[in-house]
Amino acid sequence: MSDPIDRAGLAPRFWERKPLRKLNQQEWEALCDGCGKCCLNKLEDEDTGDVALTRVACRLLDDANCRCAQYEIRHQFVPECIVLKPDNLDSHAYWMPQTCAYRLLWEGKPLYDWHPLLSGTAQSVHDAGVSVQGWTVPEFEIPEDDWEDHIIEEPI
Ligand code: SF4
Ligand code: SF4
């Protein structure tokens, strides 16, 4: 599968040499590993603040390629979809998947070696078993009261 994210011409390991707020748009977008896990529905414990991911996916997620089927116009269908930026990462990192590159860097951790910026191929994310490829269920098939039956363990 070709890489839908433009990672051409980027400086080697730019994320280790620049703070997140100094990244340009291409660098910021290239940090996304394409796993699709941020498009899974989450359950948040109101008392503890703990967040659990479920295999119940946003209605627009295509789990064959782990991409949003309507990315450019997605807010027409899913107005609550977050646009992650350097200046809102502080408030969103806590619910991002544990393997998400934005969360890892925000926590001061390195990227995994399966990240496309290190492996050189988007396929490595699927081969490592960390993408949602082929195992989600659509949210219109599962009533929200039953989402807790579909909680997944992280990291995956
Ligand atoms: S969880 Fe993070 S790395 Fe994975 S698709 Fe979402 S933004 Fe990209
Ligand atoms: S609208 Fe698209 S980008 Fe947003 S959560 Fe749904 S599938 Fe993911």
81, part of any domain: yes
pLDDT in tens, 30-65: 999 999 999 999 999 989 989 999 999 999 999 999
pLDDT in tens, 115-146: 999 999 999 999 999 999 999 999 999 999 99
Q: How far is the CA of 61 from the centre of ligand 2 (A)?
A: 6
The token duo for 16 is 């280790």
39 CB less than 6 Å from ligand 2?
yes
Choose which residue among 96, 107, 125, 126 to substitute to test ligand 1 binding: the one with the highest number of ligand atoms within 8 A of its C-beta. Answer: 96
Torsion of CA 90, 107, 41, 117, to 10 degrees: 110
74 Cα nearest atom in ligand 2: 1
Q: Which pLDDT belongs to residue 2?
A: 80
Backbone angle region of 93, left / alpha / beta, with phi > 0 → left and psi within -120 to 50 → alpha: alpha
Q: Ligand 2 atom 4: the closest Cα is on which residue?
A: 81
Domain that holds residue 126: 25-150
82, part of any domain: yes
115, part of any domain: yes
Q: Ligand 2 atom 3: the closest Cα is on which residue?
A: 68
Q: Which pLDDT belongs to residue 156?
A: 65
pLDDT in tens, 60-90: 999 999 999 999 999 999 999 999 999 999 9
Q: Which pLDDT belongs to residue 115?
A: 98
Question: How many domains are there within the chain?
Answer: 1
79, part of any domain: yes
Residue with tokens 């295999």: 55
12, part of any domain: no
- pLDDT higher than 70, residue 1: no
52, part of any domain: yes
Q: Point out the ligand nearest to the CA of residue 112.
A: 1
Q: What is residue 151's DSSP assignment? A: B
